[in-house]
Amino acid sequence: MENFEFVSPTHFVFGRGAEEQVGAKLSERGAKKVLIHFGGQSAVKSGLIDRLKATLDAAGIEHVELGGVRPNPEIGLAREGIRLCKEHNIDWVLAVGGGSVIDSAKAVAVGAHYDGDVWDFFETKQPTNDVLPIAVVLTIPAAGSEASKNTVMSNDELQLKSGYPNNAQRPKLAFMNPELTFTLPPFQTAAGLTDMFCHLLERFFDDVGAVPVTDNLNLSLMKTVRAEAPRVMVEPENYDARANVMWAGMLCHQGLAGVGRHEDWATHGLEHELSALYPEITHGAGLAVMFPAWMEYVYPENPARFAYYGREVFGLAPTGDVEADALSAIDETRAFFASLGMPTTLAELDVCEDDIEKLIPTLKENKGEPFGSFKKLTKDDAREIYRLAL
Ligand SMILES: NC(=O)c1ccc[n+]([C@@H]2O[C@H](COP(=O)([O-])OP(=O)(O)OC[C@H]3O[C@@H](n4cnc5c(N)ncnc54)[C@H](O)[C@@H]3O)[C@@H](O)[C@H]2O)c1
């Protein structure tokens, strides 16, 4: 087991009506003036934003609003949020939505007390503890940003999508009511399930040997996501299925499922290039295409690890041929994503062979260095993986 540090400061309020406690819980923590940050109109139309404002009013907490966060959030709106925080002396940011809104809220919280441009943090990864506290009302289980240390933001001007990790931006409060996810369209539910499953894969396949305490937790979450997925797809208003998926989405990415391992994250990097170039590509859909392609390319590094995954998660019986077992596990992974209605090829995302050369030079996050850990990937490897995904 590798050395690790693990920080998890999030206080969770989970279950029916959880969001009714927003005002009271923020008041307990001394909040005086909150920036309510949200996405399109769905949280407004459903009445959720009004209900949250009412709980803040009841607790005597002032609030300022900033909506309009798009999927694959852009740094420009976060800059506007930072301006509002400075102008109104905001002391908490309340994110209402999914990964896109929460990530934008994290960028706002990181930049609120900073004199330079917030993109500096994404560029340099410089640490800071001077971050506004964040509360979250989660409406889509997927990214796990409600407890994770990461934010991922697009910069359209630079055609980049970059991550910024910092434990100080982990949300301090997360309100998780599974009923708020009943309205999710099937495609978003499926993309969320795919994303959370991939968060486990990125942690399971790396260059560290077995870490049973971590691996067994990880495999148990994979099995849970796989078992609950058909239930939420068929019965979108099944409270228990939605609740299991919502809590699993958090556990998949808050960090415990990877402690003591190096983790990999190459496939998320490959997907971020796709959704930076084409912001209309949903992150989970991009991962559904890229993960099996990455697996096919890298499995010869350690076929036994793939065979083990296939046995544990998909119940595949060993054939005596580890290589064949590894390939069956990859087939099962692709079939699982396809069963959710996710795409399996880049063509289905309207990405063609000519686009690959536009993606490669922008693997800037790694500044040209090899990336990933299960197999260290060069730009030529990335090119081949994109080709396999066509
Ligand atoms: N910070 C992290 O740790 C982390 C991890 C993985 C992914 N990400 C990033 O998160 C983003 C994706 O976030 P996401 O998958 O949570 O989705 P999202 O926040 O982009 O939301 C997807 C869509 O679902 C809609 N929606 C949300 N809740 C709804 C509801 N209850 N009913 C109806 N519609 C609803 C949104 O308006 C949006 O159109 C990507 O940018 C990805 O790169 C971040």
- From the CA of 100, give the closest atom in ligand 1: 19
* 133 and 231 assigned to the same domain: no
Instruction: Residue 341: give its domain's CATH number.
Output: 1.20.1090.10
Q: What is the DSSP string of 104-173?
A: HHHHHHHHTT-SS-THHHHHH----S----EEEEE---SS-TTT-SEEEEEETTTTEEEEEE-GGGS-SE
Report pLDDT for 98: 97
Note the pLDDT tens digit of each residue in 187-237. 999 999 999 999 999 999 999 999 999 999 999 999 999 999 999 999 999
Interval between CA 12 and ligand 1 midpoint (Å): 19
Q: What are phi and psi of 155, to 5 degrees?
A: -125, 100
Global pTM value: 0.96
Average pLDDT in the 14-42 region? 97
Mutate to test the pocket of ligand 1, among 283, 290, 291 (most ligand atoms within 8 A of CB): 283
Q: Is the per-residue pLDDT at 176 higher than 80?
A: yes
Ligand 1 contact, 100 CB (< 6 A):
yes
Neighbours of 14 (CB within 10 A): 15
pLDDT recorded at residue 361 = 66
- Domain termination site, one of 146, 181, 216: 181
How many Cα atoms sit within 13 Å of 189 on the Cβ side? 27
For ligand 1, atom 6, which residue shows the shortest CA distance? 143
The mean pLDDT of the chain is: 96
Residues 122, 201: one domain?
no
Q: What is the mean pLDDT of residues 159-164?
A: 89
Is 98 touching ligand 1 by the criterion CB < 6 Å? yes
CB of 246 closer than 6 A to ligand 1? no
Claim to verify: residue 30 and residue 128 sit in the same structural domain: yes
pLDDT in tens, 109-148: 999 999 999 999 999 999 999 999 999 999 999 999 999 9
**Do 237 and 345 lie in a common domain?**
yes
Residue 5 lies in a domain: no
Domain limits for position 328: 186-389
Residues 216 and 344 in one domain: yes
For 113, other C-beta atoms within 10 Å of its C-beta total: 13
Q: Is 231 inside any structural domain?
A: yes
Q: In terms of domains, do 142 and 226 share one?
A: no
Q: CB-based burial of residue 86 (10 Å sphere; 0-12 exposed, 13-18 middle, 19+ buried)? A: middle
| CA–CA gap between residue 326 and residue 311 (Å, rounded) | 10
Which DSSP category does 383 fall into?
A: H
Examine the domain organization and report whether 323 and 381 are in the same domain: yes
By the 8 A CB rule, do 69 and 104 touch? yes
- Co-location of 94 and 205 in the same domain: no
Start-to-end CA span in the chain (Å): 37
Residues 261-299 have pLDDT tens digits of 999 999 999 998 898 889 899 999 999 999 999 999 999
Alpha carbon distance 248, 194 (integer Å) = 12
Mean pLDDT for the stretch of residues 39-52: 94
- Final residue before a domain boundary, out of 157, 181, 205: 181
- In a domain, residue 193? The reply is yes
Residues 152 and 199 in one domain: no
Question: Mean pLDDT, to the nearest integer, of 154-179?
Answer: 95
Handedness of CA 315, 207, 212, 283 (dihedral sign): negative
Percent over 70 (pLDDT), the chain: 98
Domains in the chain, number: 2
**What pLDDT score was predicted for residue 160?**
86
SS3 content of the chain, % helix, strand, coil (to 5): 55, 10, 35
CB atoms within 10 A of CB 257: 25
Whole-number Å distance, alpha carbon 250 to ligand 1 midpoint, is: 13
Best residue among 96, 188, 253 to mutate for probing ligand 1's pocket (most ligand atoms within 8 Å of CB) is 188
Q: pLDDT category, 365, cuts 50, 70, 90?
A: low
Please choose from 152, 202, 277 the residue to mutate so as to test ligand 1's pocket, defined by most ligand atoms within 8 A of CB: 152
- Domain membership of residue 3 (yes or no) is no
| Band of residue 95 on the pLDDT scale cut at 50, 70, 90 | very high
- Centre of ligand 1 to C-alpha 138, Å, is 10
127 CB-contact burial (10 Å; exposed 0-12 / middle 13-18 / buried 19+): exposed
Minimal-distance CA residue to ligand 1 atom 7? 143
Mean pLDDT of 314-320: 98
For ligand 1, the distance from its centroid to the CA atom of residue 307, given in whole angstroms, is 32
Mean pLDDT of 290-312: 98
Collapsing DSSP to helix, strand or coil, 233 comes out as: helix
Both 150 and 282 in one domain: the answer is: no
Q: What is the pLDDT of residue 284?
A: 96
1 within domain boundaries: no
CATH code where residue 29 lies: 3.40.50.1970
pLDDT of res. 320: 98
Ligand 1 in reach of 183 Cβ (< 6 A): yes
Q: Is the CB of 139 under 6 A from ligand 1?
A: yes
- Tell me, in angstroms, the distance from the centre of ligand 1 to residue 181's CA: 12
Contact at 8 Å (CB) between 275 and 161? yes
**Two structure tokens written together for 264:** 């990999």
Query: What mean pLDDT comes out for the span 346-371?
Result: 81
302-309: average pLDDT: 98
Could you identify the atom of ligand 1 that is nearest to the CA of residue 140? 28
CB under 8 Å, gap of 24 or more: what pairs does 39-45 form? 39/67, 39/68, 39/69, 39/70, 39/71, 39/96, 39/97, 39/98, 39/100, 39/101, 40/67, 40/68, 40/70, 41/67, 42/139, 42/183, 43/67, 43/96, 43/97, 43/139
Among candidate residues 155, 181, 207, the one where a domain is terminated = 181
The reply to whether 121 falls in a domain is yes
Same domain membership, residue 127 and residue 56: yes
**Residues 274 and 344 grouped into a single domain:** yes
Integer CA distances (angstroms), 71 to 75, 104, 265, in order: 12, 10, 21
Q: In this structure, is residue 42 part of a structural domain?
A: yes
Query: Among 31, 197, 19, 170, which Cα is nearest to 103's?
Result: 170
Alpha-carbon span 293 to 278, nearest angstrom: 19
Please state whether 92 falls in left (phi above 0), alpha (psi between -120 and 50) or beta: beta
- Cα torsion 343, 347, 349, 353 to 10°: value is 140
Residue at 358 is within a domain: yes
